[in-house]
Each structure stands twice: as structure tokens, then as C-alpha cells.
Structure 1
């Protein structure tokens, strides 16, 4: 059992709080029983389980190396206020191409809670994949992972330049939808094609102009009250479920 926060292994785990260190090592950290169980049941590679002294790893994680640490060490590694005493180190996963008929494109979303919620909703709505464009918050950010509630492990997620991905999708017969407040059609009045890719944009700036210009259909969601706009994760959910109707 490791009991010192100065241990080199503990230092390496602590470094996974930082995006650069995650990228350099191509591994990331998850926490909590639910996420660990979802990871172990998925086709992602779980390299190691970390447990606080007195905590047992779930049965689904049998065959994976387990590292036991003291209470103070786990607190040092943890990124949550009330840690459950279990974490895991996973290898990053790289998907090469999108497949299916319902794809979500993410343009520069910055809030990790929004991105995680959108991934979770895309999974729930039965979308076939999510493409993260440049300028989007790190997929392996702790808050993104926790907000996704394990959906990160259920749905293919790609990192792409969206302009290039849109060209490929159009070649495959996709109708490209983008969200905007102006010069847009009410989403519920638009016919849903067999293949649809939906672009949702940055919380403040929306979808970039150059991406709007590539869209086949620009849609909006009517605002009936006095709010200026909807949260991007809520808007994405409404549109994804409409597309899947």
C-alpha cells in the first residue's frame, strides 16, 4: 500500500489532472464506482484500478491491476469533494471515422459540464457518433467525464477539423444542420432526412460563420418567454430527439 504523496507513482497520477500531461502520456483518470464499472464493461483499455484502503474494486474489474493507497494519498489524487475511494487509469481511445446516420458536431464548446451533458444526451438519443472540433474543451477533463455519466464509453467520439468532416459527411449523403438565431427555420418545421449531422456551437458565439455557410439547413428553437437563449446542452437535446423521432 502506498502511503506517501511524494511517491513517484502518486506524482504521476496527480499529473493526470493537467491536460498537457494527459496528452503526453495518452492516459487519463476517472473516479467513482459508476464510472469505473462502466469503463470496465466497455471496450476501452483500463490500465489500473486505484482503491483507497478498505475499499474493494467491483467484480467486473477482475483481471485488472489494483493499486491500494492510504486515505491521504487518495484524497491527494482525487478531484472530487467527496471521493468514493475508487479510481482508474485508462488509455485514450482514438476513433478514425464516423459511421451511422445521426452524427453530432461540436464547435468550440468551452464548458466541461455542457460537453459531458451533450455526450450523455447523444448517447440517450441514440446518435451514432460525436465529432469534437478544434477549440472544444478537453474530452478527458474530469468534469466532462463526470457529466457524461459513463456515456463517454458508449458512443464513438472523434476529434476532427469540422470543415473537413462536413465535406466527408456530405459525400456520404448527410444533410447538415446548424443552429443559429437568425435566418433560421423553426426546427419542428424541417423535414428530417435519412442522414443528418447536427452542428451545435460555442456558448457565447454560437456556430462559426464559416460552418454556417456549409450547412444545408439552419434551424432555431423558438423562445416563448423572456430568456435570450437556451443553454447549448438543452438546445442540443431538443434537436437530437427531434432528429431521432
Structure 2
């Protein structure tokens, strides 16, 4: 059992909270029974499970290497306020294939909670993939993963160049929708087609013009009250369910 926060192994695990180290190792850190179980059941590669002294190991974890640590070491590693005493190191999934008729494209989403909620909603709405453009927050950020509630393990989520990916999607028969407040149509008035890729943009500045220009349809959600706009994760949810409907 590891009992010192100065142990080299503990230091290496702590570094996984940084994007640089995640990218260098091709792995990321998750916490809690639910998230780890979702990763296991979705056949992601669990490299190691970290278990706090005194915490019971669930039966589904028996097939993986276990690292036992003291409570003070686990507290040092945790990012959650009420840790459950179990964490895991997971290998990144580099699959960038899109198999399905509904794709979500994200342009420079900055808030980890928004990104996590959007991924969770895309999963619930039955979308095939979530593609993150450059400038979007890292999908393996701890807050993003927690906000997905496990959905990050259910559907492909990956980073790509949006411009080139949109051209590929058009070649494959997708209609490209973009969400914007200006020069746009009420989304209720636009007929959905069999294959749709939806773009939503940055919380403050929306979709970059170069990306927006590639859309076949630019849609908006009407505002009936005095709010200037909707939160991007709410807007994405409304439009995804409309497209699927």
C-alpha cells in the first residue's frame, strides 16, 4: 500500500490532472464507482484501479490491476468534494469514425460543465458522435467527465478540424445545421433530413464565421421572455431532440 504523497507513482497519478500529461501518456483519471463501472461496461481499457484503504472492491473490478493507497494519498489525488475512495486510470479511445446519421459539432466550447452536459444530452438524444473543434475545452478534463455522468464512454467524442470534417460529412450526404441568433430561421420551420450534422458555438461569440459559412441551414431558438440567449447546452439539447424527432 502506498502511504506517501511523495511516492513517484503517486506523483505520476497526480499529473494526470493536467492536459499535458494526459496527452503524453494517452491516459486519463476518473473517480467514483459509477464512472468506472460505465467505462468497464463500455469496454474501455482500464489500466489500473486505485483503491483507498478500507473501501470494498466491487466484483466487476477484480479483472484489473489494483493499487492500494492510504486515505491521505487518495485525498491528495482526488478532485471531488466527497470522494468515494475508488479511481481508475483509463486509456484514451482514439476512434474518429462516425457511424450514424446524427452528428454534433462543437466550435470552441469553453466551459467544462457545458461540454459535459452537451455530451450527456447527445448520448440521451441518440446522436452518433460529438466532434470537438479546436479551442474547445479538453474532453478528458475532470469536470467534463463528471458532467457527462458516464456518457463519454457511450458515444464517440473526439477532436478534429471542423472545416475538413464538415466537407467530409457533406460528401457523405449530411445536411449541416448551425445555431446562430442572426440571419437565421426559427428551427421549427426547417424540415429535418435523414442525415443531419448540427454545429453549436462558443458561449460568448457563437460559431466562427468560417465555420458558419459552411452551413446549409442556420437556425435559431425563439426567445419568448427577456433573456438575451439560452445556455449553449440547453440550446444544443433542444435542437438535437428536434432533429431526432
Q: Say whether the fold is shared (TM-score over 0.5).
A: yes
Partner of 2:44: 44
CA distance in 2, matches of 1:38, 1:24: 24
Q: Does 1:231 align with 2:231?
A: yes
Question: CA offset at residue 57 of structure 1?
Answer: 2.5
Partner of 2:15: 15
Residues 195-234 of structure 1, C-alpha deviations (whole Å, 9 max, x = no match): 0000000000001101110000000000010100000000
Question: CA offset at residue 62 of structure 1?
Answer: 2.1
Q: Does 1:150 align with 2:150?
A: yes
Question: CA offset at residue 188 of structure 1?
Answer: 1.0
Report the more deviating stretch, 19-28 or 51-60.
51-60
Residues 166-206 of structure 1, C-alpha deviations (whole Å, 9 max, x = no match): 00000000000001001101011110000000000000000
Partner of 2:68: 68
The runs of at least 4 aligned residues of structure 1 exceeding 2 Å deviation read none
CA distance in 1, matches of 2:120, 2:199: 16
CA distance in 2, matches of 1:222, 1:188: 9
Residues 25-76 of structure 1, C-alpha deviations (whole Å, 9 max, x = no match): 1110000111011111112100000011011222222210111100000000
Partner of 1:2: 2
Q: CA RMSD in A?
A: 0.7
CA distance in 1, matches of 2:144, 2:106: 14
Q: Secondary structure at the match of 2:2?
A: coil
Asked if the contact 1:50–1:67 (Cα under 8 Å) also holds between the matched residues in 2, the reply is yes
With structure 1 as the length reference, what TM-score do the two structures score?
0.99
Question: CA offset at residue 92 of structure 1?
Answer: 0.8
Structure 2, unaligned runs of 5 or more? none
Pairs within 5 Å for 1:131-170 = 131-170=131-170
Structure 1, unaligned runs of 5 or more? none
Report the more deviating stretch, 80-89 or 92-101.
92-101
Pairs within 5 Å for 1:165-244 = 165-244=165-244
Partner of 2:29: 29
Partner of 1:80: 80
CA distance in 1, matches of 2:204, 2:52: 41
Q: Secondary structure at the match of 2:90?
A: strand
Question: CA offset at residue 5 of structure 1?
Answer: 0.4
Partner of 1:113: 113
CA distance in 1, matches of 2:29, 2:218: 38
Partner of 1:90: 90
With structure 2 as the length reference, what TM-score do the two structures score?
0.99
Asked if the contact 1:98–1:158 (Cα under 8 Å) also holds between the matched residues in 2, the reply is no
